[in-house]
Amino acid sequence: MKKYTMETIVGVFVVFGLICVGYMTVKLGKVDFLGGNNYTLTARFNTVSGLRIGSPVNILGISIGRVEKISMDQDSLKAVVKMKINKDIKIYDDAIAAIKTEGLIGDKYLSIDPGGGGDLLSPGGVIADTQSPIDIESLISKYAFGEVKKDDLKEDDKK
């Protein structure tokens, strides 16, 4: 009888340990079951160079979500970024999504100006106004070889 009691106790600890490992895997992997506390939005860009899946989505410097998927629309030849946003964050249809850099040569992130003059975007909505990242490498090479003009800098600001 002692043998079965000891085996039962060991079995309970093993099952408890596996449950703990599974819980930590889900929490550290940021996996959501049953939808979680977020919704998805999409934005289309001319280029998304440097942006990665898992990059943060910020409003006013506060992280409000993550980039979930990056794909290409073959018809319009645009990069499509799908992002998960916290449910308590309101984003309007006049919002602007821009890809920015943390520091001079840091990682890219998605910055959203939430707007406020239009209607609320529903889950699965599309942010229409976007700004692609500035190509710092081409600006540096133009500057290094003396090809930068004030007009070039103004055109890059407009993009």
pLDDT tens digit string along 33-89?
A: 555 788 999 999 998 888 899 999 999 889 999 999 999 989 989 999 999 999 888
Residue 154 has pLDDT above 70, yes or no: no
Q: Report the mean per-residue pLDDT for the chain.
A: 83
The arithmetic mean of pLDDT across residues 110-117, rounded, is 86
The pTM assigned to this predicted structure is: 0.67
Distance of CA 128 to the CA centre of its chain: 17
Residue 159 has pLDDT above 50, yes or no: no
pLDDT bracket for residue 137 (50, 70, 90) = confident
> Are 101 and 136 within 8 A, CB to CB?
yes
> Are 84 and 77 within 8 A, CB to CB?
no
**Tell me, what's the pLDDT at 158?**
47
What is the domain partition of the chain in residue ranges?
1-31, 38-149
3-state secondary structure of 75: coil
Q: In what order do the strands lie in the sheet with 108-113?
A: 126-127, 38-45, 78-86, 62-73, 56-59, 108-113, 96-101, 129-131
**Tell me, what's the pLDDT at 44?**
93
Higher pLDDT, 115 or 113: 113
Rounded Cα gap, residues 69 and 62, in angstroms: 20
Count of all residues that appear for the chain in the document: 159
